Amino acid sequence: MLPETLSAVAERALTGNRCLTVLTGAGISAESGIPTFRGPEGYWQIGSRNYKPEEIGTLAMFQRDPEEVWRWYLYRRTVCQKARANRGHQAVVALEKAFGDRFMLITQNVDGLHERAGSSPERTLHVHGSLDYIRCSEACTVEMHPFPEGIGAYGRETELSEADRALLICPRCGALARPHVLWFDESYDEAFYRFETALQVAARTGLLITVGTSGATNLPNHVLNLVLRSGGKVIDVNVTQNLFGRMATVNGGFALIGRSGDLLPDLAVALHSLA
């Protein structure tokens, strides 16, 4: 059950045509069965050594062993492709439909579930990239290309075939392609990860709903702090207490403890009349 005062606080936060922004992290996709890849599922064995995601999901590793990095991401993409959007994703779509141009979605997730649920590309910022796209590893252009057709499912033991290797190239220059994802040893930028755009969205946000993220990366913290500094309110949805929830409540917002698939549909209903 939502707090009795939530609608009144949200209504005040959204006055003056301010925006509603949803910021999602791994928690919303975990409810669709996608592992966070920071646990046992994230480890990747090369020879006799196990690599953590923070080691294999890097530009340095890609430059050293691009085939193994691609194998890991093809396996990850297979897991994501098998997953289905849940009620939390669908509630985000409902909020977009209600608020229209006053709505934005900022997601750290690369799995594509928001779009498969119905979120529009025009109002969705993928600040960590997307496994549905590739780009040139030699940076011949800032253009992203759709993931090539013809590459099948990958398990943990699947070897990269010659046919798949031939598909994983830049369509523009023929150089090796890379996954369109933000690696651990890279920085946010505007061209690939919409950094400045996300901050501009935060500055005009009256109500921020954070879902399944605890602020372990830089940009979500910037977004949260910009919203609070501009007088906006935050509603945090998470299965555990976390920094975002504490900051929300200290600044007059709410920390809702529970599954996003349970809480977001009720939240979408409560906010619909404020659009």
pLDDT 10s digits, 31-50: 999 987 666 677 788 887 88
The predicted model gives 227-250 an average pLDDT of: 96
Give the count of domains, the chain: 2
List 114, 126, 128, 180, catalytic entry: 128
pLDDT-based confidence at 184, cuts 50/70/90? very high
Q: What is the CATH number of the domain that holds 200?
A: 3.40.50.1220
In the chain, the DSSP E strands lie at: 19-24, 44-46, 49-51, 103-107, 124-126, 129-136, 145-146, 177-181, 205-211, 233-238, 254-257
pLDDT of residue 39: 65
Q: Which of 268, 175, 271, 223 shows the shortest CA–CA distance to 24?
A: 223
* CA gap 69, 56 in Å, rounded: 6
pLDDT-based confidence at 188, cuts 50/70/90? very high
Q: Which of 146, 181, 216 is the last residue of a domain?
A: 181
pLDDT of residue 176: 97
pLDDT-based confidence at 158, cuts 50/70/90? very high
Domain hosting 199: range is 6-34+86-128+189-272
Q: Give the helix/strand (H/E) hosting 230.
A: none
Q: What percent of the chain stands above pLDDT 90?
A: 89
The predicted model gives 142-157 an average pLDDT of: 95
Answer yes or no: is pLDDT of 30 > 70: yes
The predicted model gives 215-221 an average pLDDT of: 84
Answer yes or no: is pLDDT of 129 > 80: yes
In tens, the pLDDT along 6-26 reads 999 999 999 998 999 999 999
Q: Tell me the pLDDT of the chain averaged across its residues.
A: 95
Residue 1 in domain: no
Residue 231 in domain: yes
Q: Are residues 250 and 205 in the same domain?
A: yes
Q: Are residues 52 and 156 in the same domain?
A: yes
Q: Does 128 participate in catalysis according to the annotation?
A: yes
The predicted model gives 75-100 an average pLDDT of: 97
Do 6 and 235 contact (CB within 8 A), yes or no?
yes
pLDDT of residue 65: 96
Q: Are residues 194 and 237 in the same domain?
A: yes
- CA 264, 268, 274, 275 torsion: positive or negative? positive
The predicted model gives 51-71 an average pLDDT of: 95
Per 3-state DSSP, the chain is made up of helix, strand and coil in percentages (nearest 5) of: 45, 20, 35
Residue 174 in domain: yes
The predicted model gives 103-108 an average pLDDT of: 98
Q: Are residues 146 and 240 in the same domain?
A: no
Q: Are residues 215 and 264 in the same domain?
A: yes
Q: Are residues 204 and 75 in the same domain?
A: no
Do 97 and 224 contact (CB within 8 A), yes or no?
no
pLDDT of residue 215: 75
Residue 151 in domain: yes
In order of 94, 105, 266, 271, the CA distances from 2 in angstroms are 18, 22, 8, 11
pLDDT of residue 87: 98
Q: Are residues 148 and 218 in the same domain?
A: no
